[in-house]
Amino acid sequence: MRVVIGEDEALLREGLSLVLAQGGFDVVAAAATADQLLDETKAHKPNLVVTDIRMPPDHTDDGLRAALFIRQTMPKTAIVVLSQHLQRRYAIELLSGTSSGVGYLLKQRIADVEHFVQDLQRVCAGGTALDPDVVTLMVARARTDHDALLRLTPRQQQVLALMAEGRSNNSIARHLLISEKAVIQHVSHIYDELGLPVSEDDHRRVLAVVRYLSQ
């Protein structure tokens, strides 16, 4: 897996390179600005781009704009966007395309190397990785609008959140320490309750849930 990194902080750029190398990724380039990130991505055509949002030249959402541009022009490239602060709007913008292979994580997650690498691998495989924080934000907001969410049991709400993060049934089962069969039952109940279209594909499932939460 070839990766291009976009991060303006030298300390984090190195840390990220180290983590990715240890996780079995091949870091082909590390850019310090959004423009440089676009150039490196065009040049190396990596499998994965991991980028910070706030970067030079404008120090606003340059990294995110670059990521969205890469998703549009090179749809096969998986993208993971990192930030110090998560916003629902950014998550929706990242998921708005039709292609899969996208992640939006809090920067602090890098330190939890094992899970971070797992998330990146899932995105590389065409999956989705939404940070639990942004999912919590979405669910909390949706709860004020959708009565259906209030009819879910706490356990089902947990499962729904993990689905939104982009986890597979297997991953959810391991996370909640329950059987995969129990997860499938919860999932089908959630589908019924919220009236979601059934999908076997984890990524499509994320889209459906996120779309539902953002209505």
Q: Is 60 one of the binding residues for another protein (CB under 8 A)?
A: yes
Quote the tokens at residue 92. Answer: 């929706």
Q: Does 42 bind another protein (CB under 8 A)?
A: no
Closest to 183 measured CA to CA, from 167, 194, 196, 198: 167
Structure tokens at 21: 């190398």
Binding mask 100-119 for another protein (x = CB under 8 A): -------xx-xxxxx-----
Q: What's the rounded Cα separation, in Å, for the pair 186 and 102? A: 25
**Between residue 128 and residue 167, which ones bind another protein under the rule CB under 8 A?**
137, 141, 144-145
Q: Are strands 26-31 and 2-6 parallel, antiparallel or unpaired?
A: parallel
15: contact with another protein by CB under 8 A? yes
- Please, which residues have CB within 8 angstroms of residue 58's CB and are 6 or more apart in sequence? none
Pick between residue 133 and residue 180 the one whose CB is nearest to another protein. 133
CB closer to another protein, 37 vs 110: 110
* Closest to 8 (Cα-Cα) out of 37, 33, 27: 33
| Binding-site ranges for another protein (CB under 8 A) | 9, 11-12, 15, 18-19, 53-54, 59-61, 64, 83-85, 87-89, 107-108, 110-114, 137, 141, 144-145
